[in-house]
């Protein structure tokens, strides 16, 4: 690739003159400008952003560190982020941690070295380490989807507690009394919040002691295993609340294998919608989160920080979750 020096030589001027043409700064005569532009075109010159970034200390690049892009919730989030970022001329480096703290730390180190201007982080665990790492190095950060025990960090997330409360109430109102929660890892704030919402709904119904909580991971395998375990319980729950979409899919498989019809014999409801695009038969009763908007808002917040705009206090933006009742939830068999 040619450099500004090559262009300068070809146009018979100094590199500084070329730089002025590129950046439209200072004075250049019409004739020189044309000569330089011709040289640029002939050489197919593109400025070296590394050299620029080294001087300006900004790369116009942000990092998106999430757990798994194949989870449709995160896919949509990522799309919202990339759209909002590219609109303002920013590029996005994306990283999948698979919920591993070590992977996350590794990626943080890499993107810090690459001098990203900011980080959008879906933290793998509910610790303050990652945020502290970034703060020490002066890298702005917005935490996405989950809380971390650090009150001074910008956060954009869905309202897991209220969403879980809504979903549990929905099941209670259908007449269910034995509702099991198939939850994600306790260390992840969304799991803690969904548990809290579930508990609150049960408590309000005077059924606090009926809580049945299984703790696993936000994966299909874990959903499958938790459901198997649950099916062995006596008496069996009449409704399952899956704490995310993957758990729901895994659990559904287990229910199918056990020959249980949904929702006739057992109800199943979940947190996190699947994109409408993909729901061939709109089936799951869910609490959906506005993933695309969440990504947009987080990016706007981060880019505003980078531009030194907006309020200085840390923001916590909590987007509402919405209950969407579909076919997977119905009154319990006994109640019919």
Site string for DNA, 55-94 (x = CB under 7 A): x-x-------------------------------------
Q: Residue 171: exposed, middle, or buried by beta-carbon count in 10 A (0-12, 13-18, 19+)? A: buried
CB 50 to DNA: min, Å: 7
Is 24 a binder of DNA (CB under 7 A)?
no
CB 329 to its own copies: min, Å: 14
Report the distance separating Cα 294 and Cα 254, nearest Å: 32
Q: Closer CB to its own copies, residue 16 or residue 51?
A: 51
Q: Closer CB to DNA, residue 23 or residue 327?
A: 23
C-beta separation of 246 from 274 below 8 A: no
Assigned token pair, 107: 């990626």
CB 30 to DNA: min, Å: 7
C-beta separation of 235 from 212 below 8 A: no
| C-alpha 65, offset from chain centre | 8
Q: Per DSSP, which regions of the chain are E strands?
A: 61-66, 91-96, 118-121, 141-144, 154-158, 179-183, 212-215, 239-242, 267-271, 285-288, 316-319, 322-324
Report the distance separating Cα 315 and Cα 234, nearest Å: 46
CB 42 to DNA: min, Å: 15
CB 182 to its own copies: min, Å: 16
Q: Decide which of its own copies, DNA, none touches 168; Cβ closer than 5 to 8 Å per partner kind.
A: none
CB 141 to DNA: min, Å: 20
Assigned token pair, 224: 């499958």
Q: Decide which of its own copies, DNA, none touches 5; Cβ closer than 5 to 8 Å per partner kind.
A: DNA
CB 6 to its own copies: min, Å: 12
Binding-site ranges for its own copies (CB under 8 A): 1, 44, 46-51, 53-54, 59, 61, 68-70, 72, 75-76, 78-79, 82-83, 86, 89, 91-96, 107, 109-115, 133, 136-139, 220, 246, 249, 252, 274-275, 277-281, 283-284
Q: Closer CB to DNA, residue 15 or residue 100?
A: 15
Q: Select the residue interacting with DNA from 32, 91, 100, 229 (CB under 7 A).
A: 32
Q: Closer CB to DNA, residue 30 or residue 70?
A: 30
Q: What is the dihedral of CA 74, 78, 80, 86, to 10 degrees?
A: 180
Tell me the longest C-alpha to C-alpha distance in the chain. Answer: 89
Report the distance separating Cα 242 and Cα 268, nearest Å: 7
Binding residues for DNA (CB under 7 A): 3-5, 12-20, 22-23, 25-32, 45, 47-48, 50-52, 54-55, 57
């Amino acid at each position: 690739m040619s450099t500004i020096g090559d262009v300068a030589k070809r146009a018979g001027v100094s590199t500084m003159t070329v730089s002025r043409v590129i950046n439209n700064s200072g004075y250049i005569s019409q004739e020189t400008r044309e000569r330089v532009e011709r040289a640029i075109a002939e050489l197919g010159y593109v400025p070296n952003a590394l050299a620029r970034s080294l001087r300006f200390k900004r790369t116009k690049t942000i990092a998106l560190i999430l757990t798994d892009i194949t989870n449709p919730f995160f896919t949509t989030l990522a799309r919202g982020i990339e759209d909002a970022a590219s609109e303002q001329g920013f590029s996005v480096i994306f990283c999948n941690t698979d919920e591993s703290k070590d992977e996350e730390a590794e990626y943080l180190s890499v993107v810090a070295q690459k001098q990203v201007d900011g980080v959008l982080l879906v933290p793998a665990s509910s610790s303050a380490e990652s945020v502290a790492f970034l703060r020490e190095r002066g890298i702005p950060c917005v935490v996405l989807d989950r809380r971390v025990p650090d009150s001074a960090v910008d956060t954009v997330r869905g309202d897991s507690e209220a969403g879980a409360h809504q979903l549990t109430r929905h099941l209670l109102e259908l007449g269910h009394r034995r509702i099991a929660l198939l939850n994600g890892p306790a260390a992840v704030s969304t799991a803690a919040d969904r548990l809290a919402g579930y508990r609150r709904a049960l408590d309000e119904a005077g059924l606090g002691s009926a809580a049945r909580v299984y703790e696993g991971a936000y994966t299909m395998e874990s959903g499958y295993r938790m459901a198997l375990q649950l099916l062995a319980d006596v008496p069996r729950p009449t409704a399952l609340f899956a704490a995310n979409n993957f758990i729901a899919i895994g659990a559904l498989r287990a229910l199918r294998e056990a020959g249980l019809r949904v929702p006739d014999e057992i109800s199943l409801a979940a947190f996190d919608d699947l994109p409408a695009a993909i729901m061939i038969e709109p089936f799951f009763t869910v609490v959906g989160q506005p993933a695309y908007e969440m990504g947009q808002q987080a990016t706007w917040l981060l880019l505003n920080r980078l531009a030194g705009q907006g309020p200085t206090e840390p923001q916590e933006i909590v987007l509402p979750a919405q209950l969407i009742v579909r076919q997977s939830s119905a009154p319990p068999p006994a109640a019919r």
